[in-house]
Amino acid sequence: MSNWTNFIQEHSEGVSSDTGFVPVAEDVIVEVAGADAAKLLQGQITADVNQLADGEFCQAALCTNKGRVVSTFHILRAGQSFYCRLPADNAEPLIATLKKYGVFYKVEVTLREDMGIAVLLSKGLQDTLPKGLSDKALLLKHGPEIQEYWIEQNQWQDCWSLLAQSGVQSSEHGWKLAKLRLGWPEIFPETAEAFLPHALSLDLSEGISFIKGCYTGQEIVARTHYRGKSKKRLTLLQVDIEPVLPGSDLKSVEGKSIGTVVVSAASDSDKGGSEILATASIDIEDVGQLMLEDNIVAYSRLPLPWSLDD
């Protein structure tokens, strides 16, 4: 249990507001710091960190030599340091790989258990942001309705008080759904090395640079982009079944494999069921039936920030 998780439990009381204030316990932050941090990351991840200005962020992935995705994350630049947010369950492969190659660089790779993550989810959020909060935490704006904060431990109490003024403490479930709907293909131990970046639509979400030069797995990723075409892409499905584990197979009603679950969460729809972010065949229909965990379930496709035809 992290220090931040303990802090959340000790401050679990809610306050009255329409804004969702979500303390996040299931994601963590990994810091890559030092004079050679950018040089190390340029040679290992899909994003071009040299193009990130101070305070800017993007999606990225760490791949094997064969182009298989080990982990995905959001990476933010702060001076000579870079901060990566990803699921706690899959932080170790990122840390281990960067440390493996980091011995040749002036760099330190650290799991920042002394940093917390909190999110505000609300329509019209720009009008309700607490004053002073952005001076006390790293801010990631994900459109007009989602603000994400990465908070140093010495600012936890102040930031919590400011966040509590802006919104009622909500469960992490809302954050999970928001990430699905934004098309963020988080990787877990069950799916490590299962996907190529294009199958996760990382090229469509600007998580891959095709001009920055070599990095681990770059040859395979570039070949797929320039010489081939990915037969699978991310899709978001509404299904009438409870959430399933990452890595679960999607099959046609005839039993033919059509995709793999990346992550799923219970739907907030009145109809119940769940929303599944999956990598699936590009010719999947908008509405239909599929086999999931040996059950025939109805599904419909939900929008993502890009089109499968992009």
| pLDDT 10s digits, 245-278 | 999 999 999 999 999 999 999 999 888 899 999 9
Best mean pLDDT range from 14-18, 104-108, 141-145? 104-108
Statement: residue 291 has pLDDT above 90 = yes
DSSP code per residue over the chain: --HHHHHHHHT------SSEEEEE-SEEEEEEESTTHHHHHHTTBSS-GGGPPTT-EEEEEEE-TTS-EEEEEEEEEETTEEEEEEEGGGHHHHHHHHHHHHTTSS-EEEE-TTEEEEEEE-TTGGGTPPTTGGGTSEEEE-STTEEEEEEEGGGHHHHHHHHHHH-EE--THHHHHHHHHTT-----GGGTT---GGGGTTTTTT---SSS---TTHHHHHHHHHH---SEEEEEEEESS----TTPEEE-TTS-EEEEEEEEEE--STT--EEEEEEEETT--SEEEEEETTEEEEEEEE--SS-TT-
- Greater confidence (225 vs 278) lies with 278
Confidence band of 131 (pLDDT split at 50, 70, 90): confident
Q: What pTM value is reported for the model?
A: 0.94
Statement: residue 111 has pLDDT above 50 = yes
Q: What is the mean pLDDT of residues 171-192?
A: 95
Percent of the chain with pLDDT over 70: 94
Q: Which domains does the chain have, with CATH numbers?
A: 3-181 (3.30.1360.120), 231-303 (2.40.30.110)
Q: What is the mean pLDDT of residues 157-170?
A: 84
- Greater confidence (68 vs 3) lies with 68
pLDDT of residue 127: 58
Q: What is the mean pLDDT of residues 17-45?
A: 91
